[in-house]
Every structure is written in C-alpha cells, then in structure tokens.
Amino acid sequence: MAFEFTDSNFQTETDKGVSVVDFWAEWCGPCRMITPIIEELAKDYEGRATVGKVNVDHNPEVSFKFGVRSIPTILILKDGEVVDKHVGVTTKQALSEKINAALN
C-alpha cells in the first residue's frame, strides 16, 4: 500500500534513500487514473524505495514548497533532493525507469 506523506512527516520520510511522491486530490480524474500504478510501484519497490501520495488539499505546505501547481505531479527524491519530476498521467514502465535510475 502506498505511504501517506503529510506536511508533518514529509521531511523525515524523504531525507534518506529514494522516495516517489504522487501529489494528488480526490476530485482529480487523472490522479485517480494513476493511483493503481502508484499502488503497484509501492509493492514492487517495497524495501528499496518509499512510494506514496500527498493529498494537496490536506497538505498545502509541502505542495507549496515544491511548487506543485498541476496534478498529478510525481517527484522522485533521493536523500531529500528532487532528482526527477513528471507532471500528468504516465505509465508504470516510465516511472519504473525513473525510480531505477534514482536507485543506481
């Protein structure tokens, strides 16, 4: 199951290793389309990367910090620093390639 990032836990949960963060909202159709992919990636990368979601409506601070203006936005962080970003719907394969690059 995808991890739930919040304003209060984001810093501590993303400061070590690789994190994949999906910025989304319940009312966003494209966000709902990508949810199954995020859930699959959470299982595929369990123990190697933290894969999760940030609800932008409930967590405005972290959304503002990273300048998220369009959703879904997916950030890939390594040791707290953004190493890749994707805005909009994408494929599991494309995200896997980005995650693997960050893990290497």
Question: Catalytic positions, please?
Answer: 28, 31
In this structure, the chain runs to a length of 104
Cβ–Cβ < 8 Å for 77, 28: no
From 84, 91, 77, select the one nearest 36 (Cα to Cα). Answer: 91
